[in-house]
Amino acid sequence: ETFNLDEYVGLKASHQQSYHTYMNKVLFEQYPHFAKNHIHIPDGLSENLEAEAERYNNLLDERGPIDIQILGIGENGHIGFNEPGTDFNSETHVVNLTESTIKANSRYFDNEADVPRQAVSMGLASILKAKRIILLAFGPKKKEAISKLLN
């Protein structure tokens, strides 16, 4: 089974910049043996986002722990959409994206105004339940965040 870290609020699963579309392109279309009912991504279109976060937490508790959690780190050290200072006890929750995250993610959209302002993201406690965590950092802009993490 797969459990996605997060999803933007307000984007259809078919939207080019949704994490549903991204995961389909980079993983599920490449390895079509994944059963649809074993692919889990938060629903950013839910009418009740808090209930969706709770549903996702319950699913993680029922099916977990995650064997391998693969994460990227942002330029400012954010993991998923959990900004520095996020409570380590946080589970899946609705996140208001910071201006720096919106600006950084605008490169994936036609313009900054198109970037969603919220996301549903696994929290740090949810992430830390994984058996193994792989943290990826690409590019020189991540150097400072990694340095702070290690020191």
What are the extents of the domains in the chain? 2-150
Q: What pLDDT score was predicted for residue 32?
A: 87
Amino acid 47: pLDDT? 98
User: What's residue 106's pLDDT?
Assistant: 96
Q: Whole-angstrom Cα distance, residue 134 to residue 126?
A: 15
d(CA 145, CA 4): 23
Choose, from 20, 57, 78, 105, the residue flagged as catalytic.
78
User: Which member of 4, 6, 20, 57 is catalytic?
Assistant: 6
Three-class DSSP category at 50: helix
3-state SS string for 80-137: CCECCCCCCCCCCEEEECCHHHHHHHHHHCCCHHHCCCEEEECCHHHHHCCCEEEEEC
Which CATH entry fits the domain spanning 2-150: 3.40.50.1360, 3.20.20.70, 3.40.50.720, 3.40.50.2300?
A: 3.40.50.1360
What is this structure's pTM?
A: 0.92
Over the chain (151 residues), what is each successive 10-residue block's mean pLDDT? 97 97 95 92 98 98 96 89 95 96 94 98 97 93 84 85
76 in active site: yes
User: Are 96 and 86 a contacting pair, CB within 8 Å?
Assistant: no
Which of the residues 15, 40, 54, 76 is marked catalytic? 76
pLDDT for residue 143: 86
Active-site residue flag, 83: yes
Quick one: how far is CA 150 from the chain centroid? Answer: 22
Instruction: Give me the pLDDT at residue 4, please.
Output: 97
Cα gap 105→146, rounded to integer Å: 19
Q: Return the pLDDT at 89.
A: 98
Q: For tokens 């599920």, what's the residue?
A: 28
Q: How far apart are CA 116 and CA 94, in angstroms?
A: 12
What confidence score (pLDDT) does residue 11 get?
A: 98
- pLDDT at residue 91 in the model: 98
DSSP 7: E
Told to judge if 7 belongs to the known catalytic residues of this protein, a careful annotator would answer no
Q: How far apart are CA 106 and CA 127, in angstroms?
A: 25
Identify whether the C-beta of residue 113 lies closer than 8 Å to the C-beta of residue 91: no
- Write down the pLDDT at residue 150: 83
Is 87 known to be catalytic?
A: no
